Amino acid sequence: MTDNKTQPRRPAPARGRPPKSAKGPDLRQKILDAAEGLFARHSFYGVTTRQVAFEAGVDVALIHYYFGAKSGLFDAVFLRRAEILNKVRLDSLDAYEKTHAGAVTVEGAIQAFINPLLDISLTGGAGWKSYFALVAQVNNTPAWGGETMTRFFDPVVQRLIAVLRKALPHARDEDLFWGYQFLTGSMMLAVSETGRIDLLSKGLCHASDIAAVKERLSAYCAAGLLTVVERHTPSLPA
């Protein structure tokens, strides 16, 4: 029988400040990367902070030091790329509106909103793929998904609606908001790359073919919105 006194002692969990050997920003990003991948694969409720710590190769106490509770870690994961994504989409919408003053179209506005996201999906790497899968998952979570999407993405969505109002000055706001609801569903399904279309088309189409999505998605969404607005807008007097 082994004498317990001879067993090596596990180091005590870190408390207070992280150890001096830990590089704060680098370590924080490492934790966020690990959490992002796990949340994308297993959802918020399917992941523990201990699992994140193991994946990141850090002590679980460091997660609590940097982020507090698991909800704080999740919010940090969501915010990190939301800030980047929101900026490029706002810049794209601003640039489109400036270069098409007086000639804004529905498809042009939707392209300015969607294409930056698709471009990032094409070139951004595995981290962005995980992030988009996570956003799609949250966007379809009834209990708290709507509130989370509102906190992180509403300003850029409202900016899109404002540009669409210029393209469709006679449209009812409820039709524009329904149009966005359908648009975001299509967009997030496309970038989550579930592989469903691969199976459905027997290999004719591939979920990973984001270039094919880019060729089609804005036209599809614009045509749908235009049809809805046309059916619900009273005829103008001659």
More confident residue, 9 or 138: 138
User: In this predicted structure, what is the pLDDT of residue 24?
Assistant: 65
User: In this predicted structure, what is the pLDDT of residue 4?
Assistant: 43
Collapsing DSSP to helix, strand or coil, 9 comes out as coil
- Provide CATH 1.10.10.60 ranges for the chain: 13-68
- Which whole number is the average pLDDT over 136-156? 94
Exposed/middle/buried for residue 179 (C-beta within 10 Å: 0-12, 13-18, 19+): buried
Distance of CA 168 to the CA centre of its chain: 27
Superfamily of domain 80-232 in CATH is Tetracycline Repressor, domain 2 (1.10.357.10)
User: In this predicted structure, what is the pLDDT of residue 234?
Assistant: 75
Give the tokens for residue 25: 């920003």
- Provide CATH 1.10.357.10 ranges for the chain: 80-232
Q: How far apart are CA 214 and CA 236, in angstroms?
A: 34
What are the tens digits of pLDDT across the range 14-67? Answer: 444 454 345 567 899 999 999 999 999 999 999 999 999 999 999 999 999 999
The vertex-154 CA angle with 149 and 160, nearest 5°, equals 125
User: In this predicted structure, what is the pLDDT of residue 11?
Assistant: 33
Residue 187: CB atoms within 10 A of its CB come to 24
Residue percentage of the chain with pLDDT more than 90 = 86
Say if domain 13-68 classifies as CATH 3.40.50.360.
no
Residue that the structure tokens 């710590």 belong to: 53
- Which whole number is the average pLDDT over 104-116? 98
User: In this predicted structure, what is the pLDDT of residue 233?
Assistant: 83
**Is a pLDDT exceeding 80 seen at residue 3?**
no
On whether the CB atoms of residues 56 and 33 are closer than 8 A, the answer is yes
Distance of CA 135 to the CA centre of its chain: 4
- Which whole number is the average pLDDT over 211-235? 94
On whether the CB atoms of residues 118 and 214 are closer than 8 A, the answer is yes
- Which whole number is the average pLDDT over 81-89? 97
Q: What is the mean pLDDT of the chain?
A: 90
Q: How far apart are CA 233 and CA 169, in angstroms?
A: 11
- Which whole number is the average pLDDT over 182-195? 95
User: In this predicted structure, what is the pLDDT of residue 200?
Assistant: 98
**Is a pLDDT exceeding 80 seen at residue 106?**
yes
